[in-house]
Amino acid sequence: WPFLISCLLLVVLATLSKEQGITVIGVCFIYELLILHKGRIWEVVYVGQWTSKSPLPVWLREMFLRLFALILAAVSLLIARVRLMGSQLPVFTKFDNPAAVSDTPTRQLTYNYLLPVNVWLLLFPCDLCCDWTMGTIPLVDSFLDPRNLATVALYFAISALIRSSVVSEAEGHYSVVIMSLSLMMFPFLPASNLFFPVGFVVAERVLYTPSMGFCLLVAYGWQLLYKRRRWKLIVWSGVLGLLFIHTLKSVHRNSDWKSEYTIFMAGLRVNDRNAKLYNNVGHALENRGDYQKALEYFRKASEVQPDDIGAHINVGRTLNNMRMYQEAEEAFWKAKNLLPRPRPGEQYQARVAPSHLNVFLNLGNLISRNDTRLEEADSVRILCSFHSDKLLRRLNVLNVLLQKGKASERVYFNLGMLAMDNRDVSEAEKCFRKAIELRDDFRSALFNLALLLSDAHRPFEAVPVLKQLLKNHPDHVKGLILLGDIYINHVRNLDAAKQCYEDILSLEPSNIQALHNLCVVYVERGLLLEAESCLKKAVSIAPHEEYVQRHLKIVKDRLKQQEDKQSLNGRNSSYSSKFSLLN
């Protein structure tokens, strides 16, 4: 019992350091049940058939008490760990563990394939890497994938080892094999994705304790071979060669760990599909002030993983440091557009990494460099505040300013934006109108009020607001787009809509949305030739926009129908003329 209590105390300390510590209880359980009392599987089953008339032996009672103590300790540690986590499991993204968000059978096949990958790292630790997340190991998405053979081979090897331990009569064989497998399997369970998905694909650190069982198994195999006289020279040569090679590997690996830059570059030599490694190399170069080189790695990360928000933020930040502001803004907008978007009329929850919220602050700061875009910068920052934990604090500050009578137009505008995010349309409208009363040329308040009215199916009320916006800010492209859409879809004033889109194109000749909508005006007027020419121009500007290609095909089909109809009418007219002459 003193040794058991000491062991459990050490397990607690280990678990406080790393969750893997709790798995030692499983090893102790196997040791108590199958090793300490020389128990065999069929003998343990026989215990379950014990009758109450026959009292349990002292050794058996003691064993059950110790097993109960182990189970109680494990359950207590699990409950304490869950309570510390707020009674919920950690949430990881698809970048941390792509298989966790994959469908069946890809998820199960990949999880099982990761087992032989880890065993291979124990057996042949040549290609080591500090990070195996993201796309490092491609998903196994088919039963025909040849990598499934490695999974089958591993399960066959484990089954063969267990069978040999059960049927072997050799002294000590059973104990060594069972303890080796216990040390390999139990500490690995939390990383196996068997009970819950973890935040990594492969992590070499989780193999530390399993390597003890692996080394024990290798040492036992070496001993069995050594007992055969003709193998002595071979096994001694083998173990010395193994020690020599692993010593060289350790020395070489130490040089990889000299700095952040060297360890991440070493990782890239092993895994060139991992965007996180490219980002980390970029960060190391950025810390040195080598922005040009860092930019190359950040851009490579965004190419390897196009939906990685952090990579685009890194690109934007580096470009900003290099004073390439236009390119930086484009990168930040790419990052922002990858964030989860609200679903109209539907409640949902989305986990956003706190570091990703920096895109709003970076974008707002960048836009605010232009004095004519200050309101836009403010609106970007206030989404940021909605997503961040500072939202309530900011709302309280705004309400205090209102109560003290110190509310400016910006206070009302920010309150309106918060009300919009909370889907309180009436409150948002009231706040925006109050902001416009205090400042009739308030660019962002005018546009957001018009947008709110349009979304609330009140487009005719939005028109005068948009006209007031464009009177003060005739270059407001989004305002012109919205007004043009209302003219087409509700007012049916095609001339006014056409003027809106032409004004936009005079400001931004490559604005695909305005150009496409101008083509729609031509179609509505029945000017199919002009519409075809317009859509061809749109395709040349945005060849990857599927809807433009589709609409161009529709217009071409209509033109062909017109030509066929005119040709048919021409033939009918010719026949009529000939018939008249004959008469």
List, for residues 466-504, the tens digit of each pLDDT value.
999 988 888 888 888 888 888 888 888 888 889 989 888
Quick: pLDDT tens for 368-388: 555 555 555 555 555 754 454
| In contact, 315 and 345? CB cutoff 8 Å | no
Q: What local confidence, expressed as pLDDT, does residue 435 receive? A: 86
Quick: pLDDT tens for 66-108: 889 999 998 998 888 777 765 555 556 666 777 777 888 888 8
The single-letter code of the amino acid at 480 is L
Tell whether the model's pLDDT for residue 516 goes beyond 50.
Answer: yes
Quick: pLDDT tens for 268-285: 998 888 888 999 999 888
Check residue 129 and report its DSSP letter: -
Q: What local confidence, expressed as pLDDT, does residue 393 receive? A: 46
User: Within 10 A of 316 (CB to CB), how many other CB atoms are there?
Assistant: 28
| In contact, 408 and 438? CB cutoff 8 Å | yes
435 CB burial (10 A radius; 0-12, 13-18, 19+) = buried
Quick: pLDDT tens for 402-445: 555 556 777 778 777 767 766 678 888 888 888 888 888 888 88
What's the gap between Cα 157 and its chain centre?
Answer: 35
Q: What local confidence, expressed as pLDDT, does residue 473 receive? A: 87
| In contact, 291 and 323? CB cutoff 8 Å | no
Write the CA distances from 138 to 108, 135, 442, integer angstroms: 14, 6, 51
Q: How confident is the model at residue 52 (pLDDT cuts 50, 70, 90)?
A: low
| Crossing angle for the helix pair 459-472 and 443-455, to the nearest 10 degrees | 160
Q: What local confidence, expressed as pLDDT, does residue 254 receive? A: 92
Q: What does the pLDDT average to over 169-183?
A: 86
Q: What local confidence, expressed as pLDDT, does residue 143 receive? A: 92
Q: What local confidence, expressed as pLDDT, does residue 431 receive? A: 85
Residues 6+ away with beta carbon under 8 Å from 212: 183
Local structure of 324: helix, strand or coil: coil
Q: How confident is the model at residue 578 (pLDDT cuts 50, 70, 90)?
A: very low
Q: What is the pLDDT of the chain when averaged over all its residues?
A: 80
